[in-house]
Each structure stands twice: as C-alpha cells, then as structure tokens.
C-alpha cells in the first residue's frame, strides 16, 4: 500500500492471537521507507501451543478457542 507524502498515517499491522477478522495467522507489516510503502503479511504460528498455554493459565476456554476460529 503506497503512502502519500506529507500526510500522517496510522498503520495497524495486526497482532498474534485473539484475531477479529476470521484469520488465525499472525499479522505484521513491513514499511519500506524508500518506496514509502507498507506491505502486510500473514504467517502461521503454533496455535495449539498457544491454546495449551491459555488453558494452563486457567484462562476462559473461549480465549483458547478464539485463537483458531479467528473471531
């Protein structure tokens, strides 16, 4: 996504875990300062391991389930 010059931008690349967009993968962005462009990426991560840690911490089950469901 190219960015306009002389304009402020707020970039939200996403996060890992507790997705709200139906995509369970980790989200991140890379900013290319020479091209003035942001490129968004998605990559898989160990969801089962993260779910296990949520359960070991005795957090609500819905938090563990949400990691895979993406909502």
Per-domain boundaries in the chain: 26-69
- Residue 56, H or E segment: helix 47-56
Q: What angle do CA 12, 44, 68 make, to 5 degrees?
A: 85
Place 71 in a pLDDT band, splitting at 50, 70 and 90. low
pLDDT in tens, 4-53: 888 888 888 888 887 778 888 999 999 898 888 999 999 999 999 999 99
The pTM assigned to this predicted structure is 0.70
């Amino acid at each position: 996504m190219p960015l306009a010059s002389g304009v402020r931008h707020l970039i939200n690349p996403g996060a890992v875990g507790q997705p709200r967009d139906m995509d369970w993968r980790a989200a991140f962005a890379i900013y290319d300062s020479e091209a003035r462009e942001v490129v968004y990426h998605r990559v898989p991560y160990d969801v089962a391991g993260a779910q296990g840690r949520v359960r070991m911490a005795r957090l609500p089950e819905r938090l563990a389930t949400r990691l895979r469901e993406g909502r």
